[in-house]
Amino acid sequence: MQTDSSFTFVLFGGTGDLSMRKILPALFEAHRAGGMLADSGKIVAVARHAADRGEYLQWVNEHVKPHVSKNGVDEAAWASFLERIEFVKIDLGNPEDFTLLRDAVKDLPGIRVFYLATGPSLFVPICRALASVGLNENARIVLEKPLGYDLKSSNAINDAVGEIFAEEQIYRIDHYLGKEPVQNLLALRFGNALFEPLWRREWVESIQITIAEELGVEARGDFYDNTGALRDMVQNHLLQLLSIVAMEPPHSMDSDSVRDEKLRVLRALKPINQLDIGKVAVRGQYHSGVIRGNAVPAYATEPGVKQNSTTETFVALKVEIENWRWAGVPFFLRTGKRLADRVAEIVVNFRSVPHSALGASALRAGANRLVIRLQPNETIRLYCLAKQPGEGMNLASVHLDLAFDQFFREGQMEAYQRLLLDVINGRLALFVRRDEQEAAWRWVEPILNEWKASNKPPKPYASGTWGPAAASAMLAQHGTCWLEEEN
């Protein structure tokens, strides 16, 4: 992914947690790799918590450097990376300060990228301030999630930003779309004749998509208590992963071909009837428990969480897609905090053979399945049945592994690194288009409204477990269970 594209990358929220942990480390890795970033490219950090460039670079050395290069930091590469960085002290609440930014970037080269690593309440004011000094022309704007609280607020932000930037200038980022196994899911489906004939209702019994976290809300209690798991994870990450798993083959890998097919999936999601929400949607909230031998507190006692909060920290859903390929196949989505393990994976459960000529052991051994793991390790694993050594025809489950870190000698590219390079190079395929976002909100909103209207408390679950028992019961009704034993 080499480039000669010159750029000026303006990072709003330059001293924020996202900049510290993800954005600046990703830019450093691209810089260190050589050839991925044009030599003339500049990074302009915008913040108000540093006095000048020297103080900001000191902050970068202290806070960003520990998050880069797992195998140690190349000091020469780090020093040359710091030379790329400029700093502008701005009060984002004061539009007049943006003249300072205009003056700072007017002589810098290449395409301008504005990355808004800020709260969503600042998206529109920043965009308007950029337009007031002419910085919106021929530029690209990157918006982090959450983009709104519901469909109405999301549309309000998109309308306001859309008055300043054209749709092809807007990059709505979802970092899960940049993960290597998600890219390999596309390669697996559309680059191999083996899987495509099986990727349909005749051969697939069910599909699970899980994003589980061991962490609680940490220091984000106030934000999370006004958001919840459905808004924070399902409306974006999980539905985006579902759309990639279920989409039809695109005409090509250009941005609109891919996003058109994802949109068709989102529009084909079966609407959830208000009376059925209790059957197909489980919400939970973690109580105290033990994570890796350490006692952890209940959500209700976390700093920033309102007393008697009914905010969900766990969601499990049964989703159906009303189209020819997937009619009748349940998709089970699950996400939560303080669960038993940190894992993100897609599990495709294939149907059993129609008749077992090999006896009862074939049925006990289970059916074929494909497990696409996104984190913590990135692998694709295909489970098949094979004969156990010895007398008789006794079958057992075995697997074929594609472990990327072992198969490919070159290091894998982190999600943010890939996506930032795509922004710089003008590639939109892995970013969410407005109509995709609207379709996702439109499907999620009835669940949000019903939970708000009922005011029923979420089902409790102990920290360190896999969530409320109701989530397992929902799958048991379909003769299946969550895959939880993989490591």
What are 440-461's pLDDT values in tens digits? Answer: 999 999 999 999 998 789 999 9
pLDDT tens-place string over residues 84-118: 999 999 998 888 999 999 999 999 989 999 999 99
CATH code where residue 126 lies: 3.40.50.720
Listed residue (441, 432, 427, 372) closest to 175, CA to CA: 432
**Nearby residues of 312 by Cβ (< 8 Å), 6 or more positions away:** 228, 229, 230, 283, 284, 285, 451, 458
pLDDT tens-place string over residues 315-349: 999 999 999 999 999 999 999 999 999 999 999 99
CA distances from 87 to 54, 126, 237, 416 (A): 9, 17, 32, 22
Based on the fold, state whether residues 377 and 240 are members of the same structural domain.
Answer: yes
Q: Is residue 345 part of a domain?
A: yes
Would you state the structure tokens that stand for residue 207, as one six-digit string?
């599909």
pLDDT tens-place string over residues 303-314: 999 999 999 999
486 pLDDT above the threshold of 80: no
Based on the fold, state whether residues 132 and 185 are members of the same structural domain.
Answer: no
Instruction: Return phi, psi of residue 212, to 5°.
Output: -115, 140
pLDDT of residue 361: 59
pLDDT of residue 366: 67
Based on the fold, state whether residues 393 and 281 are members of the same structural domain.
Answer: yes
**What is the Cα–Cα distance from 311 to 452, expressed in whole angstroms?**
10
Q: Is residue 302 part of a domain?
A: yes
* Interval 6-25 mean pLDDT: 95
pLDDT of residue 365: 54
pLDDT of residue 475: 95
Using the structure block, give the residue that is written with the tokens 């701005």. Answer: 90
Q: Is residue 1 part of a domain?
A: no
Q: Is residue 487 part of a domain?
A: no
**What is the Cα–Cα distance from 472 to 339, expressed in whole angstroms?**
14
The parent domain of residue 30 ranges over 7-144
Q: Is residue 157 part of a domain?
A: no
Q: Is residue 34 part of a domain?
A: yes
Cβ contacts of 77-85, under 8 Å, gap ≥ 24: 77/28, 77/31, 77/32, 78/28, 80/31, 81/27, 81/28, 81/31, 81/32, 82/57, 84/31, 84/37, 84/41, 84/42, 84/43, 85/42, 85/43, 85/44, 85/45, 85/53, 85/56, 85/57, 85/60
392 pLDDT above the threshold of 60: yes
pLDDT of residue 374: 87
219 pLDDT above the threshold of 90: no
**Nearby residues of 254 by Cβ (< 8 Å), 6 or more positions away:** 429
pLDDT of residue 187: 87
pLDDT of residue 179: 87
**What is the Cα–Cα distance from 37 to 111, expressed in whole angstroms?**
13
364 pLDDT above the threshold of 80: no
pLDDT of residue 439: 97
262 pLDDT above the threshold of 80: yes
Based on the fold, state whether residues 208 and 321 are members of the same structural domain.
Answer: yes
* Average confidence score pLDDT of the chain: 91
pLDDT of residue 71: 64
Based on the fold, state whether residues 188 and 276 are members of the same structural domain.
Answer: yes
Based on the fold, state whether residues 132 and 187 are members of the same structural domain.
Answer: no
**What is the Cα–Cα distance from 356 to 475, expressed in whole angstroms?**
24
- Evaluate whether 116 touches 423 at the Cβ level (below 8 Å): no
Domain count, the chain: 2
Based on the fold, state whether residues 138 and 211 are members of the same structural domain.
Answer: no
Based on the fold, state whether residues 135 and 212 are members of the same structural domain.
Answer: no
CA distances from 455 to 308, 315, 450 (A): 11, 16, 8
- Evaluate whether 44 touches 57 at the Cβ level (below 8 Å): no
Last residue of a domain, one of 125, 144, 163: 144
pLDDT of residue 363: 58
CATH code where residue 468 lies: 3.30.360.10
Last residue of a domain, one of 97, 127, 144: 144
**Nearby residues of 92 by Cβ (< 8 Å), 6 or more positions away:** 12, 46, 48, 118, 122, 125, 126, 129
**What is the Cα–Cα distance from 53 to 87, expressed in whole angstroms?**
5
* Interval 167-175 mean pLDDT: 95
Based on the fold, state whether residues 48 and 112 are members of the same structural domain.
Answer: yes
- Evaluate whether 113 touches 139 at the Cβ level (below 8 Å): yes
**What is the Cα–Cα distance from 426 to 403, expressed in whole angstroms?**
30
Based on the fold, state whether residues 239 and 289 are members of the same structural domain.
Answer: yes
pLDDT tens-place string over residues 52-79: 999 999 999 999 999 987 667 889 999 9
362 pLDDT above the threshold of 80: no
Q: Is residue 425 part of a domain?
A: no
**What is the Cα–Cα distance from 156 to 148, expressed in whole angstroms?**
8
Percent of the chain scoring above 90 in pLDDT: 71
For the chain, state the CA radius of gyration.
24
Last residue of a domain, one of 97, 129, 144: 144
Listed residue (320, 328, 316) closest to 268, CA to CA: 320
pLDDT of residue 390: 80
159 pLDDT above the threshold of 70: yes
391 pLDDT above the threshold of 80: no
Which pLDDT band holds residue 384 (cuts at 50, 70, 90)? confident
Which residue in the list 49, 237, 251, 478 is annotated as catalytic? 237
Would you state the structure tokens that stand for residue 144, as one six-digit string?
């982090």
Based on the fold, state whether residues 128 and 213 are members of the same structural domain.
Answer: no
Listed residue (340, 335, 321, 332) closest to 463, CA to CA: 340
pLDDT of residue 157: 96
Based on the fold, state whether residues 243 and 345 are members of the same structural domain.
Answer: yes
pLDDT of residue 254: 87
Sheet with 42-47, side-by-side order of all strands: 85-89, 42-47, 7-12, 111-116, 139-143, 170-172
Percent of the chain scoring above 70 in pLDDT: 95
The residue ranking higher by pLDDT, 196 or 212, is 212
- For residue 106, the tally of other CB atoms under 10 A from its CB is 11
Of the candidate ranges 147-161, 200-214, 387-401, the one whose mean pLDDT is the lowest: 387-401
pLDDT of residue 281: 96
Q: Is residue 353 part of a domain?
A: yes
67 is catalytic: no
